[in-house]
Structure 1
Amino acid sequence: MTNPENSKAGNSPSLPSVFAVNNIKNHVSVTLGMDNDQYRLWVALFTNYAKANRVLHHIIDPKKKATKPLTDEETELWETIDATVLQWIYATISTDLLHTVVEDDSTAMECWNRIRDIFQDNQHSRAVTLEQEFSHTVMADFATASAYCQRLKNLADQLKNVGSPVSDTRLVLQLVSGLTNAYHSVGTIIRQRSPLPSFAQARSMLTLEEAGIAKQAATGASSSAMYANDSDASPTASILGRPPSQGKSNKNKKKGKGGKGKQGDNGQNNQPAVPAMTMSNPWQAAAYGGGYGNFGSWPWGPSPWACPPCPYPTAPWTRPQAPWTRPPGGIRPPNATARPQAYTTESPPSQTDIEQAMYTLGLSPPEPWYMDTGATSHMTSTTGNLSSFTNSSISNSILVGNGQSIPIIGTGTTILPKPHPPLSLNNILYAPKIVKNLVSVRKFTTDNSVTVEFDPFGFCVKDYKTGTRLMRCESQGALYPITPTSQVHHPAAFAALESTIWHDRLGHPGDVIFNSLRLKNLINCNSSNKKTICHSCSIGKHIKQPFVPSTTRTYMPFDIIHSDLWTSPISSSAGHRYYLVLLDDYTNYLWTFPLAKKSQVFDVFIKFHNFVKTQFERNIKTLQCDNGREFDNGPLTD
């Protein structure tokens, strides 16, 4: 098809802009794989760029039919542009998808339609699966609010691709229904707004709430450090946020501001009142170290504390419901209403403090890794197995054998711990819902250049180049776990063998080198006083006279015939044991005659001489041999 845009005024052709594209990935940054997550984004980027370069009609059939190429030059230009667009498609899809859609003599539009059929076939079945996954997506499965929102948006886009679009209102409602308790307040605000905010606004509200929670957690951590450093204060003073009592003095009392009671009670020495913190686990104390001594006999005294207080507040401050005024006389009667406390008392906690939890963690062995020949990537259910971890901004999932999808939170790397050799596991997918930690045998062998050999009792990992065994793991169940094993230590000396065997294996070294290897314990030989002579060494050390460069020149065939008789150690099936070889010096043509006896040499040579004279009308001028006995006879000499 011709493009009017490719011609300027005066019908002078110009170079189309499609030929100026050096790297299509700079403009279409998404690589389309076999999964359905990125198809809509890939189509949007690709069609927009094709439209910008005026080649959209090469992939999407236009409503208005374009004019067909008229000349051979226009046809060639159209085919060149179509091949360029087809190359763009091949460059922006994965290798697996490329093998699926590539065909010989295919146009860009045909390839585009094949990709569309792959991702948009069986729309009703796809819609049922995506609808179920969309309805069961909750925020607890994701590390951040952005990842949760992105996953919902991707599922909504996929439903739109299969003809089941999701309205913005339903998308916001599903977003709110899957929130955790920490985001309950912002979820209530979104639900009660009329009309409902858009998905983009709801997502912005969630991210802002997430930032506020993170900031509040950071502020609480700094406050914890401040309270932890005050180790000299009494437990009561640490909890109430004021210095410890200095005695029973009730002097210099002043009214508190705002009519909330009096300061200075119980010997606080005019210290400013600080709001008391609500403690969930009060400390069991026999005596209250305040201004009035022991309150254990009074029912209205402070309730007992079950365990030592934390050095930091764990709950917000609870304001008393009504102010309390001290009765005349200085001591409250036993039948008076109990004073509201600044903390709440709960049931005693279980004996799982930090020390015990760390001890239990140390006793629990980590979940082992299992070799899996069917896995395409390494997978783990905990970040404790990773030496480095990165949260994934794009929501992906793992497709397991029963057809379900397990969300991926992020990726990481690690190295097998000692006593294993330092073999690396790269690009590990972190999926909290996966049951076992899996090692992809394919990626493990390619990343570490090793081979894995399985047997009924376990497996071995060997170096790919040398075949050296790096580790051995035993298996007692149905799977192949990477069990703790010791490294393979290679002996410095080989097994004890005969000296003749070592002499042959090491390439026939001399006595000096051989004795040096023995003294350094690099080889171990059996003691033997028998000295043997190596036949190969004797033959290899023979001294021969060098051959003098030949100055003979031949100008015609059969001027010089080189001859030799070779004796075979084994007779042929026809009974031939000798072979006469005749070589022409000028043409390098070779004749071979099998013989049963040496005495046949003369007869064969006479027949050869007659053959040359008859067929080539030439005489053999010179016969050159190695002075062997086969030519040392009377008839040939005569």
Structure 2
Amino acid sequence: MTGNLKLLINFVEKFLGTVKFRNDQITPILGYGDLVQGAVMIKSVYYVEGLNHNLFSVGQLCDVDLEVAFRKSTCYIRDLKGNDLLTGYRGTDLYSITLQDTNCPNPICLMAKATSSQAWLWHRRLSHLNFDTINLLSKNDIVVGLPKLKFVKDHLYSSCELGKAKQKSFHTKLTSSSKRRLQLLHMDLCGLMRVASINGKRYVLVIVDDYSRYTWTHFLRSKDETPKVLINFLRLVQRGLQAQVRVVRTDKGTEFLNQTLHAYFAAEGILHQTSVARTPEQNGIVERWNRTLVKAARTKLSTAKLPLFFWAEAIATACFTQNRCNAPLRKEDVRS
């Protein structure tokens, strides 16, 4: 800021706030302009009537990606490449810079900030790119015609808010609702796989116990096999673990919503919960296990350079090892 209006060109008269001096005197900021001294241009310099010294704002210099370094008797203003733009010297407790003394042969523009209309014009031209990336492109001179200015997002853009809106994330539960094994089972049918397994299977039924996170996998040739396989599994696991399944949670796939399973759940006293359409987060535990198993199987096949029709064996192996490595410790574990 400066108190000498004669130093400014392109002056815009506008009230921009007030400045409070040491003696508690308050003076208005009456406008801004560009200050040119020799090869140096400083954009958007405030005019404060009655100010006896020209002042630099270190914070604003840093905001436009300039580095300000202070030493015992000198100070430096540098660009990000380490080039010295201006050098100042310490008097008593203040550092002063004489703009006419700069030795740089090329013009220097400090505080080069794009106008609001310029910033939003380039934001639209670059397909509503975020401003951090626009400034990176400008600094590295990557885009032809993009000026080397500081682009600032000065307000929210309604079209970006509407076009880039996304569903609010579901918060992770810190404690499990299940108090014992088999109280709640998460289920999902993963498939259709592009390549049939060596035994002709194209689907994998993944079942996760909510309490222990123990996981079972069953491989199917078609969706129609799901009710029979699931009923046999529930009978076997309940008898083997001497525990009753209380709740089964699935999506709304027809492999789970059918008369066969409906009648079985009603006869056994099992509550069938389903997630809302197009909301896989509500069945997120088994959805994440699907991804974990498929990624592990894909990696194993790639490492061993095996053909894709071994995917079922790879998933079964991944499930076996995951159950023994990643299951959280419980007082009563499903493996006991």
| TM-score calculated relative to the size of structure 2 | 0.29
Q: Which one has a larger percent strand, Structure 1 or Structure 2?
A: 2
Q: Which has the higher contact order (CA 8 A, sep 6+)?
A: 2
Q: Which one has a larger percent helix, Structure 1 or Structure 2?
A: 1
**Largest Rg, 1 or 2:** 1
| TM-score calculated relative to the size of structure 1 | 0.18
